[in-house]
Chain A
Amino acid sequence: MNVLVLSGYGINCENETLHAFEVVGFKGKIIHINDLIQNPKQLYNYQVFAIPGGFSYGDDTGSGNAMAKKIMTNLYDQLTDFSLKDKLIIGICNGCQILINLGLVPSLNKKDPEVALIENKSGSYECRWVDVKVSNNKSPWLENISTLNLPVAHQEGQFMIPINILKSIKANNLIGLQYIDHHKKLAKGQFPFNPNGSKDDIAALTNQNGNVLAMMPHPERAFYHYHIPNWQSKTLKKFGDGYKIFMNAKKFFA
């Protein structure tokens, strides 16, 4: 089991993302986008492709846009091909924004992006912990998980989805995660439970196969128990909720 973790141009969560994969049993490598462009074939040595969080190109021209355009120009066919095989792709935070801009998620009909991530309703960057529930438990990434407590940290995390696309997303069961309140009910747009005003409280989307997951919260930052806020007041096991996502990737190939 090998994971390729992408880096370069302001991506910045590659170390902790790779670490999370390694702890659950993957072998992995951080590869700079320019090296991957130089030799795209190396992608086929890996079963998982992970685009970590960060600030690729400083969010200029819209978060994830510039990196998505770079991938589109140089690696689009290889990555599309990868997504159609029995392999896994995850995009976390900035990685999510990149996958959305690439149109790999939700990937209903066409090559172009079908949904957008726009600026948080609050107008400011939001670094805070949220609760999410799993909506599409058919995705290998989210199997057997009901809820998760994870941090978000983004300026542009609000899913904007045209009505007809939203209908198809729901019909095809492509909503991965949704923000919930303290009573485990959907946040219904209420801040801070829904930190960005996302349509239908959406925190993550998948493609039709469920093997590509684009999620705004950071599972790698909720990996160990001591990552969780106020962990000293809680009885916790060794790992935090983020661990479950990485374990699911392992189980998929086991």
Chain B
Amino acid sequence: MTNTIQILSIEKTGKESSLQKEHNNKSIKIIDGYFFSTNLDDQKFTKISKLISNDVSQTILTKKNVNKVLSGYSNFNWVVEIKFLPGVTDNIATTVKEIIKDNLKSSFKSFELGSTKIILIKGRKEDITKISKNEANPLIQTIKIYPFKKYLNNFKKNQFKIEKVKLPKKKYSKKEINLNISDHQLSLIGKLGIEENDKSRRGTLGLDLESLKAIRNYFSTIKRKPTDVEIETLAQTWSEHCKHKIFSAKIDDIHEGIFKKYIKGATEKIIQLRKDNFCVSLFTDNAGGIEFNKDWIICHKVETHNTPSALDPFGGAITGIVGVNRDCLGFGKGAKPIANTYAYYLADPNKKYQLYRQKNKDPMLPANFIAKGIISGVRVGGNCSGIPTPQGNVYFDDRFAGKPLVFCGTVGIIPKKIKGKLSHKKKANPGDIILMAGGRVGKDGIHGATFSSEELDPNSPVSAVQIGDPITQKKMSDVIIRELRDENLYSSITDNGAGGLSSSIGEMAKESGGFIVNLEKVPLKYNGLYPWEIWVSESQERMTLAVPPKNVKKVIKRFNVRGVEATIIGKFIKKEKAIVKYNKTEILNLDMEFLHEGYPKLNLKTSFPKIKKEKKKIIKKSSLIDKLHKLLSSPNIVSKEFIATQYDHEVQATSIIKPLQGEGRVFGNATAIKPLFDDEKSIALSQAAYPQYAETNPYDMAGCSIDTAYKNLIVSGANSKKIAILDNFCWCSSDEPDRLYQLKEAAKACYDYAVAYQTPFISGKDSMFNDFKGFDKTGKSVKISIPPTLLISSIGVVDKISHLTKITPDDGDILLVLGATRNELQDSVYSKIIGYEKSKNPVVNSKDALRTYRNFEKANKLGIINSAIGIDLGGLGIAVTKMAIASKKGFTIDLKLKNKISVDQFLFSETQSRILVSMKKNKLANFKKIFKASDYTIIGKCTGSDVIEFKDNKKIMRGKISDFAKSYKQNIKGL
């Protein structure tokens, strides 16, 4: 009898190799383990072992053979055993259970199991402790370290145990909360949560005093006390995460708030100016939608998952990507996800920041652990879901040490009409059944929405971490898109993300009037959850559907035969009431109006911030070629190829402009997919953010982000009339007037540039408190705020395949820069790496920019342009070098400059709105018909040799392309 199955891979696995390399220790071996809740007899042990292992490449450990099989490792002295904490999603265990149930059918029904990683190591105890900390996250996993001999002993004595979730059996009785208490007591409820009978607190509600007073007033008018569920629900619904109170607040003299005035306002203005409205769905749905062709709509949404990724980088990131996939599934009647995008803003993975959430304890995870975890989380989420992830970028700055920013986006596609009805319109009707489909509900993610609206501090709850399960979601998604949607079997659909059911049902019920939910019907991962926990849990992989009663049986059956659970949990009603029952006791009864609009509106004031100037740095004398190498190998310019090759960008067979471009594989600024087999139209995607510019001038920072995201699509060949953008504001300390000033400025620029370019915002999201408050290694309290970061994502339609550009010139091509270059080196990569000289920050002149873009578009359609690349970080010098690396062809570049600009300013200034292009010499005449002489500069030609030659009046400077490529493709230290 045994209760564990442990499997050893015969050959060294890739995971072992990378561990060995990372820790410079050749003696590391991993064993896959499974712990069962019941004992397995010999027959079951043999049968199950065979089901979950591979005879050829693996050996099963048994009491009899364990000494012999592990004899090759007898000089190993330590064993690290890593398990998930009870209740944490264990995807491997779920699969194993399913295999066993399918194969052993009735003979082995009731059991629990958990997967585990067992690492055998030779080394000193302190090194082992270090390695284990790098391999596991104490928030979600337990680490046990014991001597090798004890492990063998445990094995023989059957000493492995699975720990089940042991929640005390709770008998629920309705809990009423007295709000007629002092302001101080009231604040405690908001900050620490509702008090339990044992005086413990449930965890932050994120409600401020004013909100709690509004709740008190409401209940005093209806003459009763609120229940705990009501307060929890209001906290979720009113959270900054869900209601975007700062964006809708009156700010200075802007009564309607910056969202209405500057973001939505821009889109409305553009629609009014343009006659060809291609926007289909704006701001109200889970994603924004534009017209793709006469039959199809494409939608796009970008989300952030910052705080969870700081606590559990892998889990946070995977949940981020599969979560935004669901936004797509919840767009209109359900769009099919066809591309993922990502953008990570991280601390330097090679540095040790040593930050603590509490004095001398509760350390932040190391920067490299966070970076690796985030990159892997999106890899597993995207790859396992069969959604290509072509487009993304990574940026490093010390100010992300307290909180990483993780942006995850998804593009979806949906037919315009389904059975004659517009697909982007949906309405839950009174009488429709509320159906919850997908995963079960556990304690995961409790209070996610409320705490992501707050700063990360010691009270941030650990149960706020969720882990996505892409396969469960894929199964659910396939049923919705393929087997339900096109028959119009449901009237509305939305995803369960932040706030869980309380949020999804609360939002959907606006369509019908109200709802009644019976919480005891909700399927649970384990017993012992309080009703309020069920109601706000953020367990993943769930969609909520409104299904007409006549279709319910059919819909549930279709889910079930695909191995997906679907449960009736209530119904939508006409009366504008939100009602929740638990075993017939009514535990929530609120007016819908109060639920959604009852929160006190903020009244914000801004003040002009002190501008933090870059410190002057003395420029070390070095050659131009040296400078190019330094910039190319700097973390924000160096190739991100190692991410592109981990993320499947070919699945769905749609990738036509890939993330790695040219024979020399340069990491591109934009990518394109062709989503339909029978239409040559394609979708170009890009994104941009300039946190490094923000402190100097937030208005110009936002202008640069919009300009770059737009420019990259123009350069890729998109139709300028079919480009839409998305805004993701990640701000810091948004209760401070100077930060709000920066926010207002950035939002104002959003309006100005979007209207100038006539590119509408279709969707957006904000995350306002990306601050870390804690301690450094000496116990001194520190606050680290991210630089204000505005990510602009752009999506555009490319009408013809022949419009798509490339970044590789051909022999004999002449090289030109479109757009003027100014001395704008402030906050540039050059200023950071090489040094700082007197200069200005980049400012976008939209009139000049538009002239360049329109002319480029015209020239490209006429076939005049042979290759093109947008100029951004590192300026023209880096753009030239990237083109050479991509094409493996040399250039001569002429630096006889006009306009009093120095060579370094010309090559490294980050002046916006410029494009480096190449064309055949014989096209120049036609080119000149489009471009005025003042709008471009001829800078050289493609020689096809293996060097780039820069010539000025005095000398020639040469650099070998292969050397540049080496610098550009260096590994990022720490990753």
Q: Which residues of A contact B (CB under 8 A)?
A: 7-10, 12-13, 15-16, 19, 32, 34-35, 53-55, 57-62, 65-66, 69-70, 73-74, 101, 112-116, 118-128, 151, 153, 155, 160-162, 218, 220-221, 223, 226-227, 229-233
Contacts and interface: CB of A to CB of B under 8 A. Distances in A.
A223 B653 contact: yes
Contacts of B661: 230
B51 interface: yes
Given A66-B95, A122-B14, A153-B650, 19 more contacts: A12-B385, A12-B474, A34-B563, A53-B651, A55-B385, A55-B386, A59-B384, A60-B95, A73-B103, A116-B56, A116-B57, A123-B14, A123-B18, A124-B642, A126-B646, A127-B646, A221-B655, A226-B801, A227-B656
Contact of B11 (A10, A13, A118): A118
Given A54-B386, A122-B14, A61 B53 contact: yes
13 contacts: A10-B470, A10-B475, A19-B677, A34-B562, A58-B95, A114-B56, A119-B13, A121-B17, A124-B645, A126-B645, A127-B647, A160-B57, A162-B56
A10 B645 CA distance: 21
A70 B10 CA distance: 25
Contacts of B9: 118
Interface string B87-106: 00001101110110011000
Contacts of A151: 650
Q: Residue among B380, B651, B804 with the most chain A CB within 10 A? A: B651
B806 interface: yes
Given A61-B53, A160-B56, A119 B384 contact: no
A113 B650 contact: no
A114 B379 CA distance: 30
A116 B651 contact: no
Contacts of A69: 51, 99, 102-103
Contacts of A35: 561
Q: Main SS of chain A's interface residues?
A: mixed
Interface residues of B, number: 66
B650 A160 contact: no
Contacts of B655: 221, 227
A125 B475 contact: no
Contacts of B362: none
The 8 nearest A-B residue pairs measured at CB: A12-B386, A123-B14, A60-B95, A116-B57, A16-B653, A119-B14, A116-B56, A123-B18
B95 A57 contact: yes
Given A34-B562, A125-B379, A126-B645, A218 B806 contact: no
Select the residue from A62, A161, A162, A218 with max chain B CB neighbours within 10 A. A62
B54 interface: yes
B846 interface: no
Contacts of A16: 652-653
B383 interface: yes
Contacts of B92: 58, 60-61
Contact of B56 (A113, A121, A125): A113
Which of A15, A115, A118, A122 is the most central at the interface, judged by chain B CB atoms within 10 Å of its CB? Answer: A118
Contacts of A223: 653
A124 B96 CA distance: 23
B645 A121 contact: no
B652 to A, nearest CB: 6
Contacts of B805: 232
A160 B9 CA distance: 11
Contacts of A19: 653, 677
B504 to A, nearest CB: 25
Contacts of A74: 102
Contact of A113 (B17, B55, B674): B55
Contact of A58 (B471, B642, B808): B471
Given A113-B54, A125-B379, A61 B96 contact: yes
Interface in B346-382: 379-380
A92 B276 CA distance: 44
A79 to B, nearest CB: 16
A229 B663 CA distance: 8
| A53, A65, A127 — most chain B CB neighbours (10 Å) | A127
Given A58-B470, A116-B54, A233 B806 contact: yes
A7 B96 CA distance: 20
A10 B384 contact: yes
Nearest to B56: A116
Given A57-B98, A116-B57, A9 B15 contact: no
B626 interface: no
Contacts of A66: 95, 98-99
B52 interface: yes
A154 to B, nearest CB: 9
Interface string B552-564: 0000000001110
B679 interface: no
A155 B17 CA distance: 14
B677 A101 contact: no
A231 B655 CA distance: 12
A227 B563 contact: no
Nearest to A120: B14
Contacts of A101: 54
Contacts of B98: 57, 66
A162 B57 CA distance: 9
B96 A60 contact: yes
Given A55-B471, A57-B95, A125-B646, A118 B651 contact: no
Interface in B553-577: 561-563
B662 interface: yes
A14 to B, nearest CB: 9
A127 B17 contact: no
Contacts of B663: 230
B13 A118 contact: yes
Contacts of B56: 113-116, 160-162
B178 to A, nearest CB: 48
Contact of B646 (A124, A161, A218): A124
Contacts of B804: 232
B650 A127 contact: yes
A2 to B, nearest CB: 20
A9 B471 contact: yes
A116 B470 CA distance: 25
- Residue from B17, B94, B645, B806 whose CB has the most chain A CB atoms within 10 Å: B645
Contact of A34 (B18, B57, B561, B677): B561
A115 B99 CA distance: 21
Contact of A230 (B10, B645, B808): B808
Interface string B397-440: 00000000000000000000000000000000000000000000
A128 B733 CA distance: 43
B699 to A, nearest CB: 38
Contacts of A55: 383-386, 470-471, 474
A65 B52 contact: yes
Interface in B635-675: 642, 644-653, 655-656, 658, 660-663, 674
> Which of B10, B51, B642, B649: most chain A Cβ within 10 A?
B51
A230 B561 contact: no
Contacts of B478: 7-8
Contacts of B91: 58, 60
Contact of A221 (B54, B653, B674): B653
A147 to B, nearest CB: 18
Contacts of B95: 57-58, 60-61, 66
A216 to B, nearest CB: 13
A9 B808 contact: no
B651 A153 contact: yes
A114 B474 CA distance: 31
A233 B866 CA distance: 10
Interface in B41-55: 51-55
A249 B802 CA distance: 31
Interface string B120-144: 0000000000000000000000000
A118 B51 CA distance: 17
A58 B384 contact: yes
Nearest to A114: B56
